[in-house]
Chain A
Amino acid sequence: MKHLKLYHIPIAYMLLYVVAILLTGVWLFLLSQGLASSDILSTLIHIANAPEAKSLHNFIEVATPHMFAIGTLIFVVAHFMLFSTKVSQKFSLRISITLFIVALLNIVAYLPIIFGLVVSGWVKLLDLGVFVLLFLVLLGMVAFSL
């Protein structure tokens, strides 16, 4: 690719932007679950035991923009792996598809709680944790490939 070095700048900033988006997203979720101070652990225990009640309207309001935003974000970040010479495309594909599936599960994880099928919120917490962790792995792969 011509002028390859300069393209590293927006890609590197993209990684920082995505980390900031993930951090603010997790913070927003914790706030919606009653995070009042810096006591994150008690909020996590509260989510696992009895997550905050949400209406279907509230769920759709949150899920709709996230379906678009997370889908496009994974696509944009993962497509840079096409240009990688350090990580195999097979491995990139596995990570990207897994991340996409986990992202979808993370978005819909609140549905069983809303319909009263599940009382505990540990599935949502687990999904969120795996999603953030996998996204960080993908970002690390892009950073390693720069």
Chain B
Amino acid sequence: MKFLVTKELAHVALLKNLMVTVCVALFFYLGLDVVVHGYVLGFDVDGILSSLYGNAEEYIEPILIDSLLLQVHIDLFMSLFSLLILSSIYIRLFAELKSSKYLVHVVLFLGLLSPLLLMLAYFTSEVWVFVWLFSFILGHLLAMYMSLTIVKKLLIK
């Protein structure tokens, strides 16, 4: 994380290009992460409810706690690294904006909250599925927005 103390990014072409490429990679990662969760849990609310609680009419068993917890465990790890990288670069480039502080807070908070909400939904009620879905989609969209604004700032003067 030595880039945090670099004085002027404009003069360091390698660093600038590296930040652009990592943000592009993270943008695609975040998009595909939504698709992966769609395949694991379902692409619509009915599918997610069937995956979590099972569906007697369609002979679908609820997801095993081991499988769900493993997904949550991996999600936390992946979110930590992807959002840490994104927020560090975003702070470096947009520190003068007042909204930066709130955006970084919201993105990191949602990244932490959504896996935990999924567990809460599994153990309690369907209401939390909607809260999880909202926080998961919003968190991913905001993180993708962050990566796009970083790329835009670095490429377009």
Contact = CB atoms under 8 A, between A and B. Distances in A.
Contacts of A73: 77
Chain A, interface SS category: helix
Interface residues of A, number: 25
B69 A16 contact: no
A2 B95 CA distance: 9
Nearest to A13: B108
Contacts of A13: 83, 108-109, 111-112
Interface stretch (A20-28, A90-98, A102-110, A117-125): A20-28
Contact of A10 (B66, B76, B95, B104): B104
B149 to A, nearest CB: 16
Contact of B88 (A10, A16, A69, A79): A10
Interface in B60-102: 65-66, 69-70, 72-73, 76-77, 79-81, 83-84, 87-88, 91-92, 95, 100-101
Contacts of A2: 5, 95
Nearest to A6: B91
Contacts of B91: 3, 6-7, 9-10
A60 interface: no
A115 interface: no
B35 to A, nearest CB: 21
A10 B108 contact: yes
Contacts, number: 70
Nearest to B102: A9
B66 A16 contact: no
Interface in A65-99: 69, 72-73, 76, 79
Contacts of B127: none
B34 interface: no
A21 B80 CA distance: 10
Interface of A: 1-3, 6-7, 9-10, 13-14, 16-18, 20-21, 24-25, 27-28, 31-32, 69, 72-73, 76, 79
Given A13-B112, A17-B112, 15 more contacts: A2-B95, A6-B104, A7-B91, A9-B101, A10-B87, A10-B108, A13-B108, A14-B84, A17-B80, A21-B73, A21-B76, A21-B80, A25-B73, A28-B70, A73-B77
The 4 closest A-B pairs by CB, nearest first: A3-B95, A13-B108, A17-B80, A24-B73
